[in-house]
Amino acid sequence: MQYLFDENGKRYLDAFAGIVTVSCGHCHPDVLNAIIEQSKLLQHATTIYLHHAIADFAEALASKMPGNLKVVYFVNSGSEANELAMLMARLYSGNLGMISLRNAYHGGSSSTIGLTALKTWKYPIPEGEIHHVVNPDPYRGVFGSDAKLYAKDVQDHIDYGSSGNVAGFIAETIQGVGGAVELTPGYLKLVYDIVRKAGGVCIADEVQTGFGRTGSHYWGFETQGVIPDIVTMAKGIGNGLPLGAVVTTPEIASVLAQKIQFNTFGGNPVCSAGGLAVLRVLDKEKRQAHCNDVGSHLLERLRALQQRHEIIGDVRGRGLMVGVELVTDRKEKTPAKEETSVLFEKLRELGILLGKGGLHGNVFRIKPPMCFTKDDADFLVDSLDYAMSKL
């Protein structure tokens, strides 16, 4: 579930969930059983042949979506999901230019690497018509928490850096790889209006924030009070299975009917059965409410820790999507790169596995399996306290 064991039997608390992927817990019996039973019957059939597992899963997933988000495409990863979303946006709008945020991560394929805006993950290759606007980061952002000024930057980009029309805008609601950065409240509502007026579609990347992880809402975009035109998801959708999805409206989906839309493994019976089991487990075990409860406790304890240790510059996030940014100077917000690396290893020795994020690798990413308990949270915070005291 939330624990891993090494070859000597030492137990580790997994506070990173295989990079925010293990939503239900490692080897969750319900998910395992669904995968095993389906594997015994039929392991693979492409989408050329209709299999009930893919339809059952698509129906269950669509029922979780607001508005007219009713058409589901299955792929194998978040990068593939974002590739497909970008293709849809360009075909539907008839425009080419895509807008994403600085500090964003949307994948590592040759197209999505263009949407990604962290030098750590990029190669010097052609990126196409992709532009990065100022990041609405309440902690480090140039406009603080002023959503209107950040939105004006998007409008300025459209006015000065494009033909006046764009294909689409993509954003995570809480930037994952970028260090659990929650966008300034009210930002997406303003930007979605601006982008739609410029002929573009709005894409929500829910690869890390989806399926109740934020606690307050099932989807991250709901925290900003918006309904996107396209939603991409992966990671937690399959609890570790290679699975991703794109959900959109019938109108946008119709553009893909011009050609054959096909994915060899996307929606194969085993992944579909596993994905459906994940949805059922999250509902049955009330994981969204659990994330809200445990996450609130974790954030409260981390903020108390921040009062004790000067190195903690910021504690942020919601539910079990949390970031702790370490700095050597709170006023200057100087990234504590070396200290973060030392603490990272110290925590591993203490039996805790965390993630690191942000451009400088100075943010601890705490995004455990959703079965993480308050006792686990206390052990994590106490261990952080101990390690920081010894620094």
Q: Are residues 344 and 276 in the same domain?
A: no
Please say if the pLDDT value at position 103 is more than 90.
yes
Nearest to 246 by CA among 91, 28, 33: 91
Which band of pLDDT confidence, cut at 50, 70 and 90, is reported for residue 187? Answer: very high
Residues 167 and 129 in one domain: yes
Q: Tell whether 177 and 324 lie within a shared domain.
A: no
Model confidence band, residue 131 (pLDDT cutoffs 50, 70, 90):
very high
pLDDT at 46: 82
Examine the pLDDT at 262 and tell me if it is beyond 90: no
Given this model, what pLDDT does residue 5 score?
Answer: 97
Q: How far is CA 68 from CA 71, 85, 109, 221, 228, in A?
A: 9, 16, 29, 15, 10
Instruction: Compute the distance between CA of residue 88 and CA of residue 86 in angstroms, rounded to an integer.
Output: 5
Indicate whether 192 and 302 sit together in one domain: no
| pLDDT-derived band at 49, boundaries 50, 70, 90 | confident
Domain span at residue 241 reads: 29-285
What is the CATH number for 158? 3.40.640.10
The mean per-residue pLDDT over the stretch 318-335 comes to: 98
Indicate whether 39 and 22 sit together in one domain. no
The count of structural domains within the chain is 2
Are 129 and 208 in the same domain? yes
What is the pTM (predicted TM-score) of this model? 0.97
Same domain, yes or no: 13 and 150: no
Domain termination residue (choose one: 270, 285, 300): 285
What one-character-per-residue DSSP string does 178-243 give?
A: TTSEEPPTTHHHHHHHHHHHTT-EEEEE-TTTTTTTTSS-SSGGGGGT---SEEEE-GGGTTTSS-
Please check whether residues 110 and 213 belong to one and the same domain: yes
Note the pLDDT tens digit of each residue in 200-240: 999 999 999 999 999 999 999 999 999 999 999 999 999 99
Over the stretch 23-38, which tens digit does the pLDDT of each residue have? Answer: 999 999 999 999 999 9
Contact 310, 329 (CB under 8 A): no
Kindly state the DSSP code that residue 355 receives in the 8-state scheme.
Answer: E
Question: Same domain for 268 and 331?
Answer: no
| Overall size of the chain counted in residues | 391
* Count of C-beta atoms within a 10 Å radius of residue 168: 27
Same domain, 290 and 204: no
Q: How far apart are CA 49 and CA 27, in angstroms?
A: 29
User: How far apart are the C-alpha atoms of 114 and 100, rounded to whole Å?
Assistant: 9
Q: What is the pLDDT of residue 207?
A: 98
pLDDT of residue 260: 87
The answer to whether residues 321 and 21 touch, using CB atoms and an 8 Å cutoff, is: no
Query: For the chain, how many helices (H) and strands (E)?
Result: 12, 17
Tell me: pLDDT of 21 over 90. yes
- Rg over alpha carbons for the chain, rounded to the nearest Å, is 21
Biggest CA-to-CA distance, the chain: 62
pLDDT at 113 over 90: yes
Q: Are residues 355 and 375 in the same domain?
A: yes
- Say whether both 77 and 183 belong to one domain: yes
Helix (H, G, I), strand (E, B), or coil: what is residue 164?
coil
Give the bridge partners for 131, in sequence order.
99
Q: How confident is the model at residue 190 (pLDDT cuts 50, 70, 90)?
A: very high
Give the DSSP per-residue string, 26-48.
TT-HHHHHHHHHHHHH-S---TT
Q: Which of 251, 267, 285 is the last residue of a domain?
A: 285
CATH number at residue 10: 3.90.1150.10
172-208 burial by CB neighbour count: b if 16+ within 10 A, else e? bbbbbbbbbbbbbebbbebbbebbbebbbbbbbbbbb
